[in-house]
Structure 1
Amino acid sequence: MGSLWENLVIDARDPARLARWWAEALRYQVVADEPDEVEIRRAPETLPALIFVPVRDEKSVKNRLHICLRPDDQEAEVERLVDMGARHVDVGQPPDATWTVLADPEGNEFCVLQARGNTG
């Protein structure tokens, strides 16, 4: 018997703020908002969820796990996310990378990939 992916837990200095940022970025909705965790999902009954929990310490190293987004229009999506507060980061990606590495408002890296079928 296998397992189903239920959620991904993300440490945050300000879970409510970061959850709302990711909800807007992904077009998800907040389904639970408690002091010890904020949960977002595409729809209330749809998994997997992203759960944001409070931590005291700042992020200090590159993520060991990150989210990759695949929009229809990479350039427009990168611009939208940067306008929302993401920033470009260098994690050692090659200069000719087909993806763009950004960081959310708390510094968590994520990638914005090219649209499927787009080779350049």
Structure 2
Amino acid sequence: MTLEWRHVVVHSANPAALGQWWAEALGWVVVHTSDVEFAIRPEADRSPGLEFVLLEEAKKAKSRLHLDFVPDDQDAEVARLEALGAKRVDIGQGDQPWVVMADPEGNEFCVLGRRPQNTTS
């Protein structure tokens, strides 16, 4: 048996708005929209992607699943994401080398330290 990972599903009060926010934050393309779904991918034919699905219920607690991102420049990415509407959040992480943030609907994600450089001898 073979499984293909297609999407990470994010429940959302406004799938189109949140999906568009993530498309802009990640530089991804929109591959599907409807009244209740909004899907984005890195490229139209490349999986996995993110699919935002309508759930008319507010987020109630810390997310049980979150995304981690590795930037070239952590400070610059955090500032860019804040300018797009993300917020830094404290979920009890303490003093760490990563920054915990939340998207406009409060879904947490982390911006890790700088990507390790390839070193070859």
TM-score category (smaller protein): over 0.9
Equivalent pairs: percent with the same residue?
47
What is the CA–CA distance in structure 2 between the aligned matches of 1:38 and 1:23, rounded to whole Å? 10
Does 2:87 align with 1:87? Answer: yes
Q: What's the counterpart of residue 52 of structure 2?
A: 52
Q: TM-score, normalised by structure 2?
A: 0.92
Unaligned runs of 5+ in 1: none
Count of aligned residue pairs for this structure pair: 117
Q: What's the counterpart of residue 70 of structure 1?
A: 70
Q: What's the counterpart of residue 33 of structure 2?
A: 33
Q: Deviations over 1:48-73 (max 9, x none)?
A: 01000111111010000001111100
CA RMSD, Structure 1 to Structure 2 (Å):
1.2
Q: Deviations over 1:51-108 (max 9, x none)?
A: 001111110100000011111000000000001000010011121x010000000000
Where do 4+ consecutive residues of structure 1 move more than 2 Å? Answer: 1-4
What is the CA–CA distance in structure 1 between the aligned matches of 2:34 and 2:42, rounded to whole Å? 18
Q: Deviations over 1:101-120 (max 9, x none)?
A: 000000000000011238xx
**Matched residue SS, 1:117:** coil
Q: What's the counterpart of residue 113 of structure 1?
A: 112
Q: What's the counterpart of residue 99 of structure 2?
A: 100
What is the CA–CA distance in structure 2 between the aligned matches of 1:22 and 1:38, rounded to whole Å? 11
**Matched residue SS, 1:32:** strand
**Matched residue SS, 1:46:** coil
Superposition deviation, residue 2 in structure 1: 4.5
**Matched residue SS, 1:83:** helix
**Matched residue SS, 2:114:** coil
**Matched residue SS, 2:11:** strand
Q: What's the counterpart of residue 12 of structure 2?
A: 12
Superposition deviation, residue 4 in structure 1: 2.6
1:92 is matched by which residue type in structure 2?
Answer: G
Unaligned runs of 5+ in 2: none
